[in-house]
Amino acid sequence: MNEPQNVNNYDGPVFNAAVSGAQFAWNNDTVTQNQQNNSAVAPGFEALAKLVTDLLRQLPQAGLADQDREDADSAAREVLATITQPEPPEPGRLRRAIATLKGALAPVATGVVAGTAVGAQEWARTAIEHLTGIV
């Protein structure tokens, strides 16, 4: 005799793992969400935090392929995580994240990828210049 299968019907989002810092809207016609992560930036890294935060805001218009944009986003968030942790930033971790970020922006800066925003090539070139020599 066959055992009946367990069937679960959910009327909403289901999370099967820990979810921290996430925001989602479900079954809405329109939604406005804001989130502030007010982590203290390590002394001396305030300009980098501002640069990377601005970069994250402008990244969707850079014209990168989805995977490249995700890599740049992940690297930028790694930079911010590194400079906002309670202990002093680990230079190697920060250097790797910045190198990944610069590498993701390079196709836009060199004109290999045409950005969707006016001035995307100059924006990417300037961002790379500012990221160079930080650590």
pLDDT digits (tens, 9 = 90+) for 10-39: 677 776 666 666 666 666 666 666 655 556
**For residue 40, is it within any domain?**
no
**For residue 21, is it within any domain?**
no
Q: What is the CA angle 80-59-13, rounded to 5?
A: 75
Is 123 in contact with 117 (CB distance < 8 Å)?
yes
Residue 109: the pLDDT is 87
Q: Helix (H, G, I), strand (E, B), or coil: what is residue 77?
A: helix
Residue 1: the pLDDT is 60
**For residue 65, is it within any domain?**
yes
76-94: b or e for each residue (b if 16 or more CB lie within 10 Å)?
A: bebbbebbbeeeebeeeeb
Measure the CA dihedral 92/57/23/32, to 10°: 170
**For residue 108, is it within any domain?**
yes
Residue 62: the pLDDT is 84
Looking at residue 5, what DSSP letter applies?
Answer: P
Residues for the chain: how many in total?
Answer: 135
**For residue 126, is it within any domain?**
yes
Spans of the chain, pLDDT less than 50:
none
CA 40 to chain centre: 18
**For residue 38, is it within any domain?**
no
Distant-in-sequence, close-in-space partners of 57: CB < 8 Å, separation ≥ 6: none
Q: Give the domain range for residue 64.
A: 46-131
**For residue 12, is it within any domain?**
no
- As for how many domains the chain has, the answer is 1
